[in-house]
Structure 1
Amino acid sequence: MGEPVAVSVVAQDPMLEAGVTVAVHGCPDVDVSPPGVPPAVTVVIVDELGEHELDLVRATRTAAHRPEVVLVATELTPTQALHAIATGARGLLRRRETDPDRLARTVLAAAAGDAAMPPDLLDHLLDHTAAHRPPGPAGLGLSDRERAVFRLVADGRETGEIARELSYSQRTVAGVVHDVTNRFRLRNRAHAVAYVLRAGLL
């Protein structure tokens, strides 16, 4: 097992920030970033998700060391989730559903380059985008294989898990993600998930 993933915690409520920091210390695979060590992942905890909070996510993501961002909010609507992902959040959690184990798993997924969000929120997003799917040439869409892979990527699954579930090799899964990311000129996996959801491609 490698070194724990270095994490920092940012919250609007100092007491909440302290509590989450203590919880992170109790997780074996993640730990609070020591002084002078840039975190690989920053957990941002907010109440409402508005422009100010999205600016905080954006500023955190574009810091000099460019940490991945896991956003924990009191409530998240599908529209808010899309805005958060487009702003740079790689993981999304609702506060009422977040315990130390789930937070740690989401942090580890973010550190590995995977995107994660609550399954019911993903379902809402898929329903919404399917209802608003724009017409266009088949060449601009996704193949059945690509849709299958991206449904699981959006659900926060890691490459190995996706490969096992779909009976593909890990190389095939990575290739699918790479092809879609390049085809639509996207920055990374999280941006690809946001794009395919917003464009109604799943």
Structure 2
Amino acid sequence: MTTLETAVHVRVVAADPFLRAGLEAALSTAPGLALAPGGITVLASDDIDGDALRAIESAEGAVVLVTRQRDAAAAVRALGAGACAVLHRDRTGPDTLVAAVRAAATGHGTLPPGLLDDLVRMRAETPSLDPREQAVLRMVADGHETAEIATALSYSSRTVSAIVHDITHRLRLKNRAHAVAYALRQGLI
């Protein structure tokens, strides 16, 4: 039998006392895990909101998030805040929870297959800019006029205008300023 010193320490954080008790019960019977401060934090939060993100960021060790929210974009925010696992509450049984905690203890992450599919689809749908488009938009962002950009990049003014038009049309943006703002927000430039 594993002693407390060699077991993976797990702490459960949940506002709902019944949920906390259920998670603790599932974890307390798993070999090699011990409910104790430090180590892995299992955070139960209905929504991936500001409070949940702050809790993830402030946790000392790895965080396994158990949530009702199924939004892939919210899961990305949780992962960005430092969660190493995002589990859907209604599809997570004791075995899945224990496996996620063990994976977190070894530095690995866990995502449900449906969420992983959504993240892959989101990544595939994320627009990108080729190096030529990035160079033009960077100069637009720096306040350069079309003629200045053309001279600096050895393009014609017509080519620069066409590149900007293609970007705004492809990404369904309103104008040059909207294109620059979008590209900055998305980390494209």
Corresponding residue for 1:16?
Answer: 19
Q: So what's the TM-score if we normalise by structure 2?
A: 0.64
Corresponding residue for 2:123?
Answer: 129
Question: Tell me, which stretches of 5 or more residues in structure 1 are unaligned?
Answer: 61-65, 138-197
Give the match's secondary structure for 1:128.
helix
Corresponding residue for 1:31?
Answer: 34
CA offsets 1:61-97 (integer angstroms, 9 cap, x no match): xxxxx21000000122110111000011011101111
Within 2, Cα distance between the matches of 1:102 and 1:55? Answer: 25
Alignment of 1:1-202 (within 5 A): 3-33=6-36, 38-60=37-59, 66-136=60-130
Conserved 8 A contact 1:29-1:104: no
Which of the pair has more CA radius of gyration?
2
Give the match's secondary structure for 2:63.
strand
**How large is the Cα RMSD of the aligned pairs?**
2.1
Within 2, Cα distance between the matches of 1:96 and 1:29? Answer: 25
Corresponding residue for 2:153?
Answer: none
Give the match's secondary structure for 1:70.
strand
Q: So what's the TM-score if we normalise by structure 1?
A: 0.60
The offset of 1:123, in angstroms, is 0.7
Between the aligned residues of both structures, percent identity stands at 34
Give the number of the structure with larger relative contact order, counting CA–CA contacts within 8 Å between residues 6 or more apart: 1
Distance 1:85 1:199, change over 3 A: farther
Aligned-partner residue type, residue 32 of structure 1: L
